Amino acid sequence: MPDPNDNQSRATPAGAGPQRIDPVAPATKPGGRRGWIIASTVAVVGVLAALGVTGFVIARGGAHGADESKVRDAVDTFVGALGSGDLATLQSSTCGTLADFYRDIPPTEFASVHRDTVAQGNVPVVTGIDTVQITGDSAIAQVTAHTQANPTDASPRTFDLERVDGTWKVCDPD
């Protein structure tokens, strides 16, 4: 009887019919089914640990993340009010000497200045808020902006903000 482990005895000449393939016992791995259970348990514990770490990081930075979102909203509100000529929003969304300017300018004079600014294309357009840095009740938002007259001339600009009575407002830099 030919040796089943001898490749020579199993070889068949080309065209001589189907080749017989001897069954091979499946290789057994140490641990078998128990190994899969252990591996699955380790994977689940790893995923739960990663989720726990992620939750901890989010919880520690959650307040800061909320403030960052509010700073971004304050910049968007201010820029939107500049574009639309909304004097009331400019008055309520600013602080310091910038708030004084919007509070003290007569509405008819502001409307005239806004009309001229729009006609000249000098209204700023913020295309993105790139970074926000918060220190206590002060924040700096770096944005990329251009004017309506020069849309291809985008450049970085900064907005200084202060938290006044719990609300972030755009201010003149100190």
The least confident of 12-26, 61-75, 94-108 is 12-26
**Could you report the per-residue pLDDT of 119-133, keeping only the tens digit for each?**
999 999 999 999 999
Name residues whose C-beta falls within 8 Å of residue 12's C-beta, 6 or more positions apart in sequence.
Answer: 19, 20
What fold characterizes domain 32-171? Nuclear Transport Factor 2; Chain: A, (3.10.450)
Mean pLDDT computed over every residue of the chain: 78
Please give the pLDDT value at position 173: 78
Q: Are 136 and 127 in contact (CB under 8 A)?
A: no
> Which residues on adjacent β-strands are paired with residue 139?
134, 161
Per the model's pLDDT, the better-predicted residue between 25 and 103 turns out to be: 103
Domain boundaries, the chain: 32-171
Record the pTM.
0.63
- pLDDT score of 52 more than 50: no
Across 59-153, the runs of DSSP E, i.e. the strands, are: 94-95, 124-135, 138-147
